[in-house]
Structure formats: C-alpha cells, structure tokens
C-alpha cells in the first residue's frame, strides 16, 4: 500500500504525540479543546480586492473561487475502495458508479456525526475524497487499520504540504456562470444536473467538472493536474472579464456558508467514545481542534450532533451496513434538532459595537468580527427561547454586506424552528474561559429571528434542480 499519514502543522505549536495524549494531559476533552490555539490560515490570499465587493460577485455577476490550497484530497483506489466508503458512509452506494459525486457523511458507532466531505468516483475503483481533515482522517485511519485491499495518497493542504498540490480546484459561481463557462471551454457545454460530473477541454487541457453550487447560486467546479492550473485559470479569467467576474479571497469565501447553510465544523463525535480510543491514539495532536462559544458543558458529548440535527437526514440510507447504523435507526425515530438561519437584531449588534468605543466602567462585549466572527475551529453559542429555556445552538456567525445583516447558522428544537420565531443568542465566552487570543470581554445577549436554511432562496429552492 502507498500512504502518507496526516501531518501535524508545525505552525500550530501543538503538543507532540496524539490527540489522546493531549486529552489525558488536560484532564478531559472540553478543557483540551477550550485551551487549544486557532491560528489564521495565513497561507491563503486574504482578499483579492475587498471582501465587501467580493460578496456581491456571486449574486450579481460571477465569482472565481480558488479551492486548490485549503482542503485535503484523499485518493483511494483498489478492489475494496467502494466497500470502504460504503462501510463508513451513511449514504447509499447502490448506484454510485464512475462519473458521479456525492456528499459523503460519516458517523461514529453511537450515530453522532464525525464529518462530511465530497466524494468523487473518478474511474472504476478510483475515488477522491475532498474536504476538511476531520472526516478524511477518520477514513484514513480505517484504511490503515482495517482489512481493505486499497492504495491511498493523502495530499494535505498548502499549510502543511511541501510543494504544489496534486490537483488545482476552481469554482465559477453566479448568475453569469453558464455563459462564462460556454465561452471558456473548447466545444459544447455538457448538460449536467446538480452534482453530476463531466469532462471538458479548456485551453486545450482536459478538465474534470462538477455541476455544483456553494454560494447560493448555480456554478461549476473544475479540477485537473497542477501543471495545467495556470493555463486553465487564465482561460476562465479571460472568459469571465466581459461578464464582470472577479476573484474572491478567503475572507469573503468563508461567508459562503451563511447563504448555503453548510455547517462545516460541528464537534466530531470522536473525543470520548471508548470504541474510538484507538483512533485518538493514532490521530496526531495537531488534529485536536479547538472550541469557543457561550455554551458550556463539562461533557464533550453535549456538543455532538447527529446527521439529522445538521440537515443530513435526507442522505441516510439503511440499505447497507455501516458504522453507526444501529444507533441511527434508533435516532431516526426520535425528535432532534433542525438546521436554521438566525438573523441577528441590528440594534443589538450596534450595541455590541458601541461597547467597543465607550468607557462605562464595564468590559466591552465580544467584538462581532466581519465578515466572519470565528475564534476557534468549533463554535457553540447558546440559543434560548422566549421562556429562557435552552432551544439549541448557533455555530457559525458572519456578516453579509449585500443584505446588511449579521447571520448565523445553527440548530434548534422543533418548537422554535418556525420561520419568524424569536430567540436569544448568548454572545461571548463563559466566565473563566481559557480561549487563547480573545481579549477580555463580557457576555451579552442578542435577539434573533429564525429564518430558513439555506438562507439563499435560490439555494433552497432551485439550484439542486438545474
């Protein structure tokens, strides 16, 4: 077998050893995660012009997104490759042949979510799993410890990798995406539906393509060997100029989730299950993660979510055996949480900003950073209903300039999930928090209105049908 294991990024300053070692030293997973650092992804282009302008691109014209550097590719091939993914994924693989892609969702033995990624079936028995390390590391562990006849290559993100990526990966998103791609390709635009794969020629290079939307708008994803990256990028950029397409930096890119309602980083259910002790001992310490937010519990399991809570219930299929199946069959029968969008009250947000510039003898409230307010890999803020009782969590907060709104994505119980429901979000770290790099602040509350998820009407109603 060919393989590489996940690397521990030297920039993190993480403790040597494994995730299990870090948890043991801290005493429990919550303490370990609360005290872990969260460095910025400084290896990415922060802005191309300015984030305000870039947020308008995918709504008004088109946005060019370079995804070549911040994600991980796990290439797997061999006679047991499909069995591997089928035994780890809650999805059905009954008709998952070459030329197809899907959102791969992995659960722990107790049915709680480990993570998700995009799985490309490139050729018969050859796959590329693309996403954040949380899900991919779990698959790699099972390859290395399980009985699977496969070979694999782990191509890390550009923070860790030495040298160029194996593949470039670009997206063109927005109302003008179809017209731009027609101008850029050599020949006819293939008739692809949502999440269908194809192959086109751009600048004389063979390019893989996926009909995909990340920004609440239709679009295309393109990939190919790194040696072709510059030629393909230049051809797409030239084709997009007459339509007003612009490049998007990482700062605006992170706000795409507010429109599409993808909760990218819930706490994975790997930190305390006895059955996963071997995984924690295998997983390098740099993959621990970090935790912030107003929700406070000594039990890490209180932060876990199920695939149903996070909106993945529609992909769970009990037509095959997979890790967590028995637990999910029980979970499916009981009420859970529902993914929603929270629109923050503008006056309350203005009060948070006002507290930064007035000296009334109190600490200021925690700053609401723009366009994304994130202090850790995982963020859990408490959401309460009108009676003050816990109703759920807010997990990802940011600002959409075109709408002049602070939004967050999260989950609430069914009683509070209706559009227009008024809830309250507690903003700021608990007293005594050890969250590194956050200045001293006081907790405050923000009124919020529940809206559907995805927030984008187009993403919610149309782009999966085109």
**What residues are designated binding site for substrate?**
221
Radius of gyration of the chain, Cα coordinates, nearest whole angstrom: 22
Instruction: Detail the residues annotated as belonging to a binding site.
Output: 221
Cβ atoms within 10 Å of 85's Cβ, excluding its own: 23
The DSSP secondary-structure symbol of 177 reads H
* DSSP SS3 for 381: strand
Residue 258's nearest CA partner among 311, 214, 308, 194 is 214
Provide the 10 A C-beta neighbour count for residue 210.
21
Can you tell me the distance from the alpha carbon of 21 to that of 463, in angstroms, rounded to the nearest whole number? 45
| The token pair that represents 403 in the structure block | 């709408």
CA distance 447 to 445: 7
Cis peptide bond prior to 160, omega within 30° of 0: no
Alpha-carbon distance of 303 to 297, in angstroms, equals: 8
The two tokens of residue 358 are 């007035």
How far apart (Å, rounded) are the C-alpha atoms in residues 261 and 214?
Answer: 9
């Amino acid at each position: 077998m060919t393989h590489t294991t996940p690397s521990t990024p030297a920039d993190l300053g993480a403790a040597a050893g494994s995730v299990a070692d870090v948890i043991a030293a801290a005493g429990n997973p919550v303490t370990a995660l609360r005290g872990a650092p969260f460095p910025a992804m400084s290896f990415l282009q922060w802005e191309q012009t300015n984030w305000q302008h870039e947020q308008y691109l995918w709504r008004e014209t088109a946005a060019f997104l370079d995804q070549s550097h911040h994600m991980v590719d796990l290439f797997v091939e061999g006679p047991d490759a499909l069995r591997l993914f089928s035994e780890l994924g809650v999805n059905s693989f009954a008709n998952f042949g070459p030329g197809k892609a899907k959102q791969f969702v992995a659960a722990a033995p107790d049915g709680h979510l480990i993570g998700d990624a995009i799985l490309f079936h490139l050729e018969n028995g050859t796959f590329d799993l693309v996403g954040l390390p949380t899900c991919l590391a779990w698959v790699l562990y099972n390859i290395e410890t399980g009985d699977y006849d496969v070979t694999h290559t782990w191509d890390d993100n550009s923070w860790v990798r030495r040298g160029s990526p194996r593949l470039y990966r670009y997206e063109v998103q927005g109302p003008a995406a179809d017209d731009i791609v027609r101008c850029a390709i050599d020949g006819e635009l293939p008739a692809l539906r949502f999440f269908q794969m194809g192959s086109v020629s751009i600048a004389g290079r063979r390019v893989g393509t996926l009909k995909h939307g990340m920004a609440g708008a239709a679009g295309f994803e393109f990939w190919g060997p790194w040696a072709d990256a510059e030629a393909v990028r230049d051809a797409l950029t030239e084709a997009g100029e007459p339509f007003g397409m612009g490049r998007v930096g990482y700062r605006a890119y992170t706000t795409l989730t507010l429109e599409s309602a993808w909760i990218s980083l819930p706490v994975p259910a790997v930190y305390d299950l006895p059955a996963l002790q071997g995984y924690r001992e295998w997983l390098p310490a740099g993959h621990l993660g970090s935790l912030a937010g107003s929700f406070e519990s000594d039990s890490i399991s209180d932060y876990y979510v199920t695939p149903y809570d996070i909106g993945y219930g529609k992909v769970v299929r009990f037509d095959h055996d997979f890790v967590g199946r028995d637990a999910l069959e029980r979970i499916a029968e009981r009420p859970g949480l529902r993914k929603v969008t929270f629109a923050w009250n503008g006056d309350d947000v203005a009060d948070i900003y006002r507290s930064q510039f007035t000296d009334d003898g109190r600490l200021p409230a925690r700053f609401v950073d723009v366009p994304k307010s994130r202090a850790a890999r995982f963020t859990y803020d408490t959401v309460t209903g009108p009676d003050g009782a816990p109703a759920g969590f807010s997990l990802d907060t940011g600002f959409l300039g075109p709408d002049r709104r602070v939004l967050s994505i999260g989950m609430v119980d069914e009683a509070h999930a209706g559009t227009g429901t008024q809830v309250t979000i507690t903003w700021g770290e608990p007293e005594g928090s050890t969250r590194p790099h956050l200045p001293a602040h006081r907790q405050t509350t923000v009124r919020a209105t529940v809206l559907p998820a995805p927030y984008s009407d187009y993403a919610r109603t149309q782009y999966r049908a085109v």
